[in-house]
Amino acid sequence: MRKITRKVKVGMIEIGGDAPISIQGMTKVATSEIPGLLKEFRKIVSSGAEIIRVAILNEKDVDSIPIVKKSFGVPVVADIHYLPELALLSIRKGADKIRINPYNMGKKYLNDIIKEARTYGIPIRIGINSGSVKIKDSLVESMVASAIDALKFFQDKDFHSLVISLKTPYVRQTIECYRQVSEVCDYPLHLGITEAGRGLLAESKSILGIGVLLLEGIGDTIRVSLTEPSWKEINIGRAILQSTGIRRFEPEIVSCPTCGRTQVDIPSVFLQVNKEIKKLVHRYPKVINLKIAVMGCSVNGPGEAKQADIGIAGGKGKFVLFKKGVIIGTYPEDNIVEKMKDEIIKILEEKNLT
């Protein structure tokens, strides 16, 4: 069961409490490079980013905040290190949240930031990263102690509009950090495996680290960090939320991996089904709630196909089509996708999901 945390508001998006677990992205171009920034925003917003963070290194970067906010309406988070005056400026320029690492800001400046965040009603993310923490005993103990110490500072100032992150590039340690902090506080947690790298291993680290925590009920917002384009991070984030059953962005498609028994071209049928679904989503957004099965033979095929809203089980060059567990008919391989599509639309109409 999800651990209920305090709720904070980042622009029009809520983090924590019963709010949907949101997907965050971070841009990779220089924030002051407006054409490139707008292009990247367009790409990651259309991929599904719900909150976008930008790196703030100077005043020109701060000037981009109102521009992207006006153009996209997506909440913007200003990421600031070392320069407290840029945090203040970002807040005044409309940042919906700021992300700081309190340990590289100096506590006396934090008071000014807290004051400004309170005035403008925005939250602060305390972002603890393994790369910037002083390691005493173990990495986990040092990270958790840093987070708790920083939290105490903000609590003493009676400032509670906080989000916390404790990122490392290591799956086990990151999970342990979040578990421990989740035990001792109820502030919303921003999950991520930082500096995961690129390729399959990096994706696996992110999926495991974030996924395990989410399945334990820990975490309120996520960001996947890859040495790859930012839209890819959003895609992986969505896949994590969908595969953990937390949110739905597309229909659940069960499909057989194929084996020596397969006598139909399952990979090709799967791709065609997927393509049709992508087209249908625009016309019928609620199609994402359906379960679809694309199965190869009579071993597991009828069983899976019966449990789906719509399913097909292959034979020799043909498929049996099931709708809600009932056989509709048998159709040749070359028109099964069209037939499935018709039946999907009928289900949506019958269920009033159009």
Residue 191 CB burial class (10 angstroms; 0-12, 13-18, ≥19)? buried
Distance CA 55, CA 143 (A): 23
CB of 264 to ligand SF4, least distance (A): 9
Nearest residue (CB) to ligand SF4, 32 versus 300 = 300
Q: Which of 74, 147, 290, 297 binds ligand SF4 (CB under 6 A)?
A: 297
Q: Which of 121, 299, 329, 351 binds ligand SF4 (CB under 6 A)?
A: 299
Residue 135 is a binding residue for ligand SF4 (CB under 6 A): no
Among residues 344, 320, 347, 337, the alpha carbon closest in space to that of 273 is found at 337
Structure-derived torsion over alpha carbons of residues 257, 259, 265, 267, reported in degrees to the nearest 10: 20
Distance CA 132, CA 302 (A): 54
CB of 311 to ligand SF4, least distance (A): 11
Q: How many residues sit close enough to ligand SF4 to count as binding (CB under 6 A)?
A: 12
Question: Of the ranges 19-27, 50-58, 257-265, 342-350, which one interacts with ligand SF4 (CB under 6 A)?
Answer: 257-265
Beta strand extents in the chain (DSSP E only): 8-10, 13-15, 22-26, 51-56, 76-80, 97-100, 124-129, 162-167, 190-191, 221-222, 252-255, 291-295, 310-314, 318-323, 326-332
The backbone torsions φ and ψ at residue 138, rounded to the nearest 5 degrees and listed phi first, read -105, 165
Residue 257 is a binding residue for ligand SF4 (CB under 6 A): yes
Nearest residue (CB) to ligand SF4, 133 versus 294 = 294
Residue 311 is a binding residue for ligand SF4 (CB under 6 A): no
Residue 258 is a binding residue for ligand SF4 (CB under 6 A): yes
**Contact code string over 214-253 relative to ligand SF4, x by CB under 6 A:** ----------------------------------------
Question: Of the ranges 39-47, 93-101, 190-198, 258-266, which one interacts with ligand SF4 (CB under 6 A)?
Answer: 258-266
Residues 44 and 32: beta-carbon distance below 8 Å: no
CB of 159 to ligand SF4, least distance (A): 56
Residue 301 is a binding residue for ligand SF4 (CB under 6 A): yes
Residue 209 is a binding residue for ligand SF4 (CB under 6 A): no
SS3 181: helix
Nearest residue (CB) to ligand SF4, 242 versus 300 = 300
The label of the residue with tokens 């509670």 reads: 160
Distance CA 109, CA 126 (A): 14
Nearest residue (CB) to ligand SF4, 229 versus 315 = 315
| Positive or negative: CA dihedral 165, 58, 227, 47 | positive
Helices (H), 121-265: 139-156, 171-184, 199-215, 230-243
> Would you put residue 191 in left (φ > 0), alpha (ψ -120 to 50) or beta?
beta
Residue 259 is a binding residue for ligand SF4 (CB under 6 A): yes
Nearest residue (CB) to ligand SF4, 71 versus 258 = 258
Nearest residue (CB) to ligand SF4, 266 versus 344 = 266
SS3 2: coil
Among residues 133, 153, 151, the alpha carbon closest in space to that of 143 is found at 133
Residue 300 is a binding residue for ligand SF4 (CB under 6 A): yes
**Contact code string over 277-296 relative to ligand SF4, x by CB under 6 A:** ------------------xx
Nearest residue (CB) to ligand SF4, 258 versus 307 = 258
Residue 268 is a binding residue for ligand SF4 (CB under 6 A): no
Residue 37 is a binding residue for ligand SF4 (CB under 6 A): no
Residues that bind ligand SF4 (CB under 6 A): 256-259, 261-262, 295-297, 299-301
